[in-house]
Chain A
């Protein structure tokens, strides 16, 4: 399976999952907050907020991720491809929840996106390992 497959699976995951909806709502809420009182809130606080935002979007999709990882493992997708799916979907969700940071500065957006992507990736890896252990125990 190539990059196209990984991108297609990630896109489908984002579109179908509840995490996308959570990400949109969080993005709108944070955007409103930044618009209303953004100057008062210290920027490190806003940037750090990207971590729980991204993690919650990932964990909301726990069921979807679980079934997807399970299916991918059964059809024989390589661990690298699964990691690619995890990273790409985290990056997309991370971008979604950190879009409003552009209102503060593009730099803040980039830093926030990086944090969101890394934390989301850590979350998906955790889920993947959990599914892997579950599959192993079932076998």
Chain B
């Protein structure tokens, strides 16, 4: 009590100190950085405006219809779920050798178990089935003894006739190597309020005790990685089952049941049915199956079946289609708001933020509700299906809305306007090859008739000249000159084109000729780079 009070005082003191520092820092900021404070105010106004806009859209009738669509679709997805118990092969972890067959049933809560009924549920006759109940309980209040200074937090009860074997030797069920001074506890007085007299013995021995193969007698409290964490043996009290039950105030039931089997274990399909049958009768947590060296755990965790996931995706697809259709109906309204706000100085990206908020609120408000309800009433597989559906709808609507309100691009890919001068730099170093490419492009141009082509090598440079007649317009054409200059690891091509005509050549024809001739040369060079 004193410790708690002390920690509370420390906590309040630290909190007050932190608040004082924050306020002091805030005052300094306000006094010395007024400009910054004004900026914050401006940003707050914008956020406020975005919030108002979101609230305005959320109140529209189409929001209700979208909510209805998503809600119904999520419910359909949840109801269409089907699942199967998960099966995990832990042979590598808990194998431990041996060819004996056995079941180990872990219950979620202490249960009253009819062992003969369990045997029949496991499809076993009473002759071939030896059931050994155990009770392993972690106490909320420690139990004090007159022997140990340490209080006891964990009680382990083993069925009486097997417990007796603990005093002198290991249980035959335990595969751990025998130790001297095996766990032994003797209870002198019984009852919750009685002082229990007990003897605690060798701790390392208690830790080594196993129920069957790798399953420890001490209950697993948790895991660090894959390594189980056991309670310290000095806090554990091991006694006959009947006495532990009395200590807990009567018929406490059992938490675990080891069933030794003489004969074979059914196949996995039958085992899953067995597990389902057992789960209907008892609150079964896990069913361990030891069969010819293989160890399987059938757990209460449910895995959705493929058909269930397919149904969920179909429901999601329908919901996406319906939601986007309904959403598109709201577009004229949203667009008119968008353009009005843009004119008022509202930043274009803010609409995307508003739509993201809107879609998130609409989808997840109903989605989370259905997921939570499904988890509570229909099970984890249904919740999983509803979650998949909601996530698919959310992603689709976010993509759709961001596409609709996409910011107009300031950069566009445009055609290079026809020009009289054009310079190209190609990585082709062989100047003769470049020369051939340019000449071929001039010769092979179907829009022009070649009237003359000549070339000359001047030093390292090559000069090409061609006179072309334009087929589409009589009496007009162009003279093309290309100078090829070798550069380091490249070739520079400088093209000059001059149009000519018997009559005045219109601007449109000039542009056509320049475009058709130069683009062919550029295209040929680029495609062979």
Contact of B72 among A52, A59, A60 (CB under 8 A): A52
Q: Do residues A55 and B326 form an inter-chain contact, with CB atoms below 8 A?
A: yes
B79: interface (CB < 8 Å): yes
Measured CA separation A12–B344 after assembly (Å): 42
Q: What residues of chain A lie closer than 8 Å to B81, measured between beta carbons? A: 40
Q: What is the size, in residues, of chain A's interface with B at 8 Å between Cβ atoms?
A: 25
A14 to chain B, nearest CB (A): 15
Distance (whole angstroms) from the CB of B373 to the closest CB of chain A: 13
**What A residues does B310 contact at CB under 8 A?**
36
Does A135 sit within 8 A of B, measured CB to CB? no
**Cross-chain contact B318 with A26 (CB below 8 angstroms):** yes
Which of A29, A40, A51 is within 8 Å of B68, CB to CB? A51
Count of chain B residues near A, Cβ 8 A: 28
Q: Which of A25, A49, A55 contacts B321 (CB 8 A)?
A: A25
Is the CB–CB distance between B317 and A37 below 8 Å? no
Once A26-B322, A33-B314, A37-B311 are accepted as A-B contacts, the answer to whether A49 and B72 lie under 8 Å apart by CB is yes
> Interface centre among B315, B318, B326, by most A CB within 10 Å?
B318
Q: Is the CB of A52 within 8 A of B76?
A: no
Taking CB atoms, residues of chain B closer than 8 Å to A59 are 62, 325-326, 328-329
Which of B68, B80, B329 is within 8 Å of A62, CB to CB?
A: B329
Asked if A32 and B321 make an inter-chain contact with CB atoms under 8 angstroms apart, the answer reads no
Check: B69 CB closer than 8 A to any chain A CB: yes
Residue A115, interface by CB 8 Å:
no
Q: Does B505 reach chain A (CB closer than 8 Å)? A: no
B294-327, CB < 8 A from A: 307-308, 310-311, 314-315, 317-318, 321-323, 325-326
Instruction: Say yes or no: A45 contacts B72, CB within 8 Å.
Output: yes
Contacts of A33 in B (CB 8 A): 76, 80, 311, 314-315, 318
Asked if A60 meets B328 with Cβ closer than 8 Å, knowing A25-B321, A36-B310, A51-B68, the reply is yes
Closest 3 CB pairs of A and B: A59-B329, A56-B325, A37-B80
Jot down 11 A-B pairs with beta carbons below 8 A, ordered by A.
A26-B318, A29-B317, A29-B321, A33-B318, A36-B307, A36-B311, A55-B65, A56-B322, A56-B325, A56-B326, A59-B326
Other than the known A36-B311, A49-B73, what 5 A-B pairs have Cβ atoms closer than 8 Å? Answer: A22-B321, A36-B307, A41-B80, A45-B79, A56-B326
